[in-house]
Amino acid sequence: MATEQLPPRRPRGRPRDTGDKLCPRCERATTRLESLSPGHVFCRSCIETALHTHGTCPGCTTDTLLPGLDSEGQSICSDCAGYTRNFTCSRCSKERAPYRRGLCEWCSLADDLDSVLQPSAFSPESAFGSALRSHLLEAARPRSIVRWLQNAQVRDLLSGLARGDVDATHESLDQLPQNASLAHIRALLIDRGQLPSRDEALARFTAWIPMKIDTVRAPESRDALRRFATWHHLRRVRMSAEKDRGATSAAHNAKQEITVAANFLNWLGDRGTALSSCGQEHIDLWVSNGPTTRYTVRNFLTYTAASQLSRSLVVPRRTVKSIRRVDKLERIEMIRRILDDRSHPTSHRLAALLLLIFGQPITRIVSMTIDDFNLVDTGAQIRFSDDWIELPPAIAKLVADHLENRAPTMTRAVDQSHYVFPGSRPGQHIHRDSLKTALNRLGIDLLGTRNTTLDELVAAMPSPLVADSLGFSYSALAQHESFQGLRFERYVAGRYSD
């Protein structure tokens, strides 16, 4: 079967450099073509894909490696593709990506693990060694572990653990190249009680602080940032780590504030100004000439003023935009920003998106109940009337996150509340003024929407085109339709009724 006049296959990964050769499979320029089988040369990316595609061959229904392509672009086995190279591993007899000396990647990894872990040392008390071996052999990409095992420190650690004469500590593991295998080994040790459990987000944040501080050039500024990072943030992140939800989101927010503060300090340094002599004019210049994340410097400056490291300075509120006046692109930008900006609480982001995407009024958003959402395996649905509307994946994720953690305060259980946005008093939903304040903080001008007519709101709703440009994927036409005019009349009807 001719395999070379084929429709182009979309290669994985980022675009590579140009070269003077053309890969016959993906039709992209490359500097080097390699042999997949005698007489069949392709670029590295296509060969990698070919050697890691397994499944049932549509030509002969064998379940095996599918390195070839048929005229329709379907992956087929090497026999059907007419390849003469033998892809069968000389040990496990499976057709798998050959790695070295006739062995597949898995058999090569098994050999390496045996030499590192020395199975003779697998006494009953070293069950860890065999547990580790079988865990690592389940890897989807054994080659990356083979390479990882080339690090002498990694080999020493693993053989020591298998023999039982090395007590791993989190600190010793932190010194090794970090990858998924190490994370796995750490989890295995914690699971077996050989390591105390710890919050990985907190650990990573703790290790990240000094690296970030090093990026600040002036010593005085570095000191201010160190104090802010340690006394203001690290303390909070530690407190979150002790709670059930863990430190992930607290660490994320902290990193964002510290990063902006570091940028601000270097920006100030570039202007020959020390933090102690920073004036209001600097702040005004800083926020008016850059991305809106620059406003995030507020907490840092509140901290430095309170610690007498700077004067008392005012970071203005973000310039707010009226929904009424935003055009399509601005609105997309706003939706995108709210989806990405994890520095704001999930509840506020979700409420903002309901407003921006569905034009729902605040009074209606605050009183939504969990029955208005339907979490399904494939995502989430929402209803404003009797129709369930499929939510785009990014928003479905936010809904799932929010519904899981919607307590208004850290200490209150919400299991009893059926409101999507519970208030601080038991059995009540959030007050609309609180939500308005929160949305203003997100940069949404609600006053501007007061006089907005319903028509304008409808016009501002996402067409599938807008949704597509946000990177939402719609697998079915039915999902497109649920965003189109007809059904919108029903949301609108729902809106009128409140």
Residue ranges that bind Zn ion, judged by CB under 5 A: 23, 25-26, 42-43, 46, 57, 59-60, 77, 80, 89, 91-92, 104, 107
Q: In 298-370, where does DSSP find H-type helix?
A: 298-306, 328-340, 346-358, 362-366
Least distance in Å: CB of 17 to Zn ion?
13
Q: How far is the CB of 39 from Zn ion (least distance, A)?
A: 16
Going by C-alpha positions, the residue among 204, 187, 99 that lies closest to residue 147 is 99
CB of 141 to Zn ion, least distance (A): 15
Residue among 79 and 174 whose Cβ is closer to Zn ion: 79
CB atoms within 10 A of CB 267: 17
Asked if residue 204 lies in contact with residue 251, where contact means CB atoms within 8 angstroms, the answer is: yes
Alpha helix (H) residue ranges in 102-218 = 105-117, 127-137, 142-148, 152-163, 170-174, 180-191, 200-213
| Cβ pair 81, 64 in contact under 8 A | no
- In the complex, what is the shortest distance from the CB of residue 29 to Zn ion, in angstroms, rounded to a whole number? 10
Q: Of 36, 33, 37, whose CA–CA distance to 16 is shortest?
A: 33
State in angstroms the smallest separation of the CB of 44 from Zn ion: 8
- Give the number of other Cβ atoms within 10 Å of residue 241's Cβ: 21
Q: Is the Cβ of residue 37 or residue 304 nearer to Zn ion in the bound state?
A: 37
Closest by alpha carbon to 128, among 115, 117, 144? Answer: 117
Q: Which is nearer to Zn ion, 21 or 217 (CB)?
A: 21
Cβ atoms 69, 76 nearer than 8 A: yes
Give min distance, CB of 149 to Zn ion, in A. 17
**CA pair distance 19, 44, nearest whole angstrom:** 13
Amino acid identity, position 72:
E
> Would you say 42 or 128 has its CB closer to Zn ion?
42
Beta carbon nearer to Zn ion, 44 or 337: 44
Closest to Zn ion by CB, 26 vs 51, is: 26
- H/E segment holding residue 40: strand 40-42
Q: Specify the residue, 89 or 297, whose C-beta has the smaller distance to Zn ion.
A: 89
